[in-house]
A = this chain, B = another copy of it.
Amino acid sequence: MKGDRSLSPTEQEHPDYYVHIVDENSKGIVVRGAKAHTSVSINANEIIVLPTRNFNEQDRDYAVAFAVAPDTPGLKLISSPYAESDSRNEFDFPISSKHKMIETLTVFDDVFVPWERVFMKGEWQMAGPLAKTFVEFHRFTAISYKLPLVDLLLGSSELIADYNGTERASHIRDKITWLVSYAETLRALVKMAAVECKIVDLDIAVPNTLIVNMAKWHFAKNYHQSIAYVQDIAGGLLATAPGGDDLQSAEIGAYVRKYMGGRRGIDGEKRLKAMNLIKELTTTDFGGYQAVLAVHAEGSIEAEKMATLREHDATKFKAYAKEMAGIED
């Protein structure tokens, strides 16, 4: 979630928060400040710092980019406690018992960075373009890795509708069709962003920025509605079903297996497994984490909206309207 612009108004009023140069000498520079929202930093070999916005000439100390190893003195990685998973069993928590992405507040308490690790120092004119370049590629990554999540929301809905025996109900079909369109529109946009790339220096293919941002916006602005439909299709057992321990219990397991069973002899264990997958995706703290990421990761919804407009060239559209309106100049 690096590059999140939604905090910048706060940060603009507190410029000390941004990572900036406080000293330099013949060996390197000393930096201070913090980065919020640094994903998987504790798993990384190198932590790369970039500017996240435009700076003007007065802010030249903030126009800094560099790489440091995680054990560099003065660098602090303060992890989010989100979705701590010590005692999670695989039945009730099929995803978060095994997987978690750690987020940190990453603090630079006067960290020394040798010159050979400094990429930018004071070139404030380049801060905005560098931030933009980063986010353009990062959002293409985002829409690519979000697609399997969206496919899973669709597939798990279709699975549970089968188990519930409701897959022919007209409102269930409507909601599944909406999920199909949500996933397939995302897939088509991701592919088209690649098909319509532009080739720049060094033969690097840059995905179509307008389509990338539009795809990300499509994903993000519809995510919570998709969760609503998945929960609607799954049913109230998402909140009320017994757990894996109950199912294994000698005393009450048979009740759970019987009464949690689906139609056509689907047994309770199988149905609860499907239900628990949907719980993880939509109602546990893992699901909550995904929802926040949908809104804020790789830039917020507003950032995607603004980028969509910025990448749009209005000139030819207005010219077309003028022609049709009979306006000559």
Instruction: Given A279-B288, A317-B151, verify A300-B232 contact (CB < 8 Å).
Output: yes
A263–B4 CB distance below 8 A: no
B184–A312 CB distance below 8 A: yes
Candidates B13, B152, B170, B283; contact of A291 at CB < 8 Å: B283
For residue A92, which residues in chain B have a CB less than 8 angstroms away from its CB? 81
- For window 298-327 of chain A, which residues contact chain B by CB distance below 8 Å? 300-302, 305-306, 308-309, 312, 314, 316-322, 324-327
Is A136 in the interface zone, CB < 8 Å from B? Answer: no
Is A52 in the interface zone, CB < 8 Å from B? Answer: no
- For window 71-125 of chain A, which residues contact chain B by CB distance below 8 Å? 76, 78-82, 90, 92, 94-95, 103-105, 107, 109
Closest to A296 in B: B236
Is A30 in the interface zone, CB < 8 Å from B? Answer: no
Interface string of A235-250 (1 = CB under 8 A from B): 1111111110110000
Closest to A102 in B: B240
Some 24 contacts from A to B, beta carbons below 8 A apart, are: A1-B240, A6-B166, A10-B166, A10-B263, A13-B165, A80-B242, A81-B242, A81-B243, A94-B325, A104-B240, A105-B255, A155-B318, A155-B320, A191-B192, A225-B225, A227-B291, A228-B291, A232-B295, A236-B300, A238-B288, A238-B296, A239-B289, A273-B327, A283-B289
Q: Which A residues fall within an 8 A CB radius of B?
A: 1, 4, 6-7, 9-10, 13-14, 17, 34, 36-39, 76, 78-82, 90, 92, 94-95, 103-105, 107, 109, 151-152, 154-156, 158-159, 162, 164-166, 169-171, 173-174, 176-177, 180-181, 184-185, 188-189, 191-192, 195-196, 210-211, 214, 217-218, 221, 223-225, 227-228, 231-232, 235-243, 245-246, 252, 255-256, 259-264, 270, 273-274, 276-277, 279, 282-285, 287-289, 291-293, 295-297, 300-302, 305-306, 308-309, 312, 314, 316-322, 324-327
